[in-house]
Structure formats: C-alpha cells, structure tokens
C-alpha cells in the first residue's frame, strides 16, 4: 500500500481533532490536559481517567470488577432515556440472555440484505451526482441513507425517516463528554421526543412486518416493552455512528490524499475504514463503575468509584491517519468496546462504513475530489460536520 504524504496526513488528522474540539470544547480540553499527565490519572471529584489502550481493554474484559451498572456508571445516564432494559445499560446474566437473543438480528446475511436493498441504491445516486461534477453534500447523502436504513430495520414508515432521525439527534443533543445526569426539564423534553419514537416501535411490534427488528424480537419471545427499549437505544445511540463517521472519513481521505489510492485500489477500503475509525473513535469516552478494589497500572481504584476510559486519547497515541500502518493490536476495534459489552451493532456500522467508502472510491474515478465547503458541528454528542461539500474536478 502506498504511504501517505506525512504532512498531508497530519493536516487531515489535525482537522479531525478540531471537529471533536468544536463538539466538546470543555470536556475535550479537560480530558486532553488530564491524559497528558499520564495514562492512568486520578482526578478528585471526577474519577480515574485511563488513556492507555491495553489497560482499557483489560478493564472492559473484567466485568466482575468494572461494570456499566453502579455508582458513576453509564447506566445512570441512559436508563432515564431508554428504561432499565435497553441492553447497553444492563449487565450480568440478564444482559447476556438478552444479547444472545438479539445476536441473530445482526447476522451478515440479514444485514447484507438490508444494505443491498436500501444503502446500495442511495450510494449509486451519490456516485452518479459526483460523476456529473455537481457539488454534493456528504452529510445530506449519509443522513438520508442512515434514516432509510433505520426505518427499514424498525418498520417505521419510510416517509417519516428524516423526522425520526431528527428526534434521535435532538435527544443526543443533551449528552456531552462530561454529562453525568439530566435535569427534570431536560428529561421532560427527552420523554416528549421519545413518545413518538416509542409509539412507532409499538406499532411495528404489533404489525410484525417480516424482516424488521421488532418482528424478529417478537418471534424470539422478547416483550413489547423490552423491544421498545432496545430499538430506542439502537436509534438514539447507534444511528449517529455512520452519520458522523462518513463526513469525517471523507475529509480524512480527501485531505490526506489517500482517496486517490482507494480509487485505484478499492480492495484497501477495509484498512482505510479501520484506520479512520481509530482516528475518529465512534465511542470517544466509556464509563465504568468500580465494583471492588483494584489497581490499574499501580493506581489504586476503590469500589464505588468511577473509571473514565478516554478512548479518543488512547487511540490517538498511534499517531496521524495512516492506513498503510496496521492498527496496533491493543487498539483494534476498541472504539466499539470489548468483552461482554462489545457493540452488538458493530457489524452493521462497519458494513455501512465500507459500502460508503467503496462508493466514495468509485466516485473519485470521475476526477480528483476536493472539499469545497465544510461546517463543523458545535456542542453535539457525535462530533462531525453539519455540512461537507465535495466536487470532482473535470478532466483537463
């Protein structure tokens, strides 16, 4: 694989860091300062901040000592939104049981059929627009595609796709890197938005349309209430992965010059996607509650304390964007977690990302693609661009 120009790669990586800074200025700057003090740092009133990938993986693989559920755990944030049984805010035997029932929903065969039906036609239209040398907003393209996939998976009406995605984004707007809980006023707004999503899920569950998640969950004997919780978690926490990643990936490969390589060698798309995820980190921070006393790299942690896994800074230690260099072993897919809580939606997110990246590589065959306009999002959970316009140059 052709190596990148180091200066171009650094510029592209620094721009991506600015994207995160715009989304989480206070939290990002605070965590960056803390992680510069060391890879495991105790911060009074905050918890123990870990930014070493190997140590993070050990913590994620030790559910007997570190849990999502407990004082300072991430369940305190998500349970008021999705209820107590949304998978991502559960632990122990109940979590394992529900996860086993849900795993068949994310088989490659099922996901591939959804992508071929929904995403591929959208990407064909994207490639055609670029080939016509039009200005194309990647954000608009991927938001529409992601919304259609969610509606196909959940059984929601297709004409309601954009509205459902907007509701999910409004809910995520209350979450930052440092959010520990919500005010009563925030919860009132969140529950108002959720009422529409939940009603749509209940309708889909009762209709049991073939090939939808609610229908498959119903067939597995999962209750309507649990289905509502899981589907809500999937929409609120999962949809933004591809929506935020695609524009950032586009900017990384365009500004680094790597897109030209992908246009000639589309077989290298998976490596480029993996490296871009290492740089962009879909889950920038993960939280765990300490269940029993332990030591992390010599730092004592006590039961009841909070562990903050600064994923974005751990993964950044590998350096600038460079798909020619394998992702370090300790960092591989760390952005999706590890162990019992490894993201169940990873196969879908990765498939969507690779299909988009392949389409972008195809689009580059029309001419060298450049970024004509970009607007970074501000104060949002999923750091990205609100607008990223590209155009392919006409041949001389």
Which of 73, 71, 101 lies closest to 226, judged by CA?
A: 101
| pLDDT, tens digit, 9 for 90 and up, residues 311-369 | 999 999 999 999 999 999 999 999 998 988 888 788 888 999 999 999 999 999 999 99
CATH superfamily, region 6-392: Cytochrome P450 (1.10.630.10)
185-226 pLDDT per residue, tens: 888 887 887 787 788 888 888 988 888 888 888 988 888 888
Would the pLDDT of 172 be above 60?
yes
Please report the pLDDT score of residue 319 as a whole number. Answer: 96
Mean pLDDT of the chain: 87
Q: Inform me whether the pLDDT recorded for 50 exceeds 60.
A: yes
Q: How deeply is 251 buried, as exposed, middle or buried, from its count of CB atoms within 10 A (0-12, 13-18, 19+)?
A: buried
> Per-residue b/e over 165-175, b at no fewer than 16 CB within 10 Å?
bebbbebbbbb
pTM here? 0.90
142-165 pLDDT, tens per residue?
999 988 888 888 888 777 666 766
What is the C-alpha to C-alpha distance for residues 377 and 380, in angstroms, rounded to an integer?
A: 7
Output the pLDDT for position 339: 86
| 286: phi then psi, degrees, rounded to nearest 5 | -125, 145
Domain chopping of the chain, boundaries: 6-392
pLDDT greater at residue 340 or residue 391: 391
H/E stretch holding 255 reads: helix 239-256
Which residue would you say has higher pLDDT here, 286 or 177? 286
85 versus 196: which is more confidently predicted? 196
Residue 93 burial by Cβ neighbours in a 10 Å radius (0-12, 13-18, 19+): exposed
pLDDT of residue 97: 74
Residue 289's DSSP bridge partners are: 67, 306
């Amino acid at each position: 694989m052709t190596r990148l120009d180091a200066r171009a790669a650094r510029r592209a990586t620094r721009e991506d860091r600015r994207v995160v800074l715009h989304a989480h200025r206070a939290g990002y700057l605070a965590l960056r300062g803390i992680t510069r003090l060391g890879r495991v740092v105790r911060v009074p009133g905050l918890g123990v901040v870990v930014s070493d990938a190997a140590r993070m993986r050990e913590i994620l693989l030790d559910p007997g000592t570190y849990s999502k559920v407990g004082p300072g755990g991430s369940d305190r944030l998500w349970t008021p939104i999705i209820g107590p049984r949304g998978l991502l805010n559960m632990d122990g035997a109940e979590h394992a049981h529900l996860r086993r029932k849900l795993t068949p929903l994310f088989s490659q065969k099922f996901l591939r059929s959804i992508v071929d039906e929904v995403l591929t036609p959208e990407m064909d239209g994207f490639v055609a627009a670029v080939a016509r040398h039009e200005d194309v907003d990647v954000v608009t393209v991927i938001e529409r595609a992601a919304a259609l996939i969610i509606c196909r998976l959940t059984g929601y009406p297709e004409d309601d796709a954009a509205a459902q995605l907007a509701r999910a984004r409004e809910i995520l707007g209350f979450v930052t890197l440092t959010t520990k809980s919500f005010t009563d006023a925030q919860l009132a707004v969140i529950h108002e938005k959720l009422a529409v999503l939940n009603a749509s899920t209940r309708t889909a569950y009762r209709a049991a349309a073939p090939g939808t998640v609610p229908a498959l969950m119903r067939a597995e004997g999962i209750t309507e209430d649990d289905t509502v919780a899981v589907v809500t978690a999937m929409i609120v926490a999962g949809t933004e992965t591809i929506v935020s990643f695609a524009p950032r990936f586009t900017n990384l490969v365009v500004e680094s010059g790597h897109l030209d390589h992908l246009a000639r060698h589309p077989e290298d798309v998976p490596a480029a996607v993996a490296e871009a995820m290492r740089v962009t980190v879909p889950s920038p921070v993960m939280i765990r509650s300490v269940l029993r006393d332990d030591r992390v790299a010599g730092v004592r942690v006590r039961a009841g304390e909070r562990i903050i896994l600064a994923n974005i800074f751990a993964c950044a230690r590998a350096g600038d964007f460079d798909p020619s260099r394998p992702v370090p072993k300790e960092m591989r897919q760390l952005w999706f977690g590890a162990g019992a809580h490894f993201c169940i939606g990873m196969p879908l997110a990765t498939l969507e990302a690779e299909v988009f990246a392949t389409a972008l590589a195809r689009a580059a065959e029309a001419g060298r693609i450049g970024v004509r306009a970009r607007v970074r999002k501000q104060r949002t959970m999923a750091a990205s661009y609100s607008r990223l316009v590209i155009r392919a140059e006409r041949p001389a």
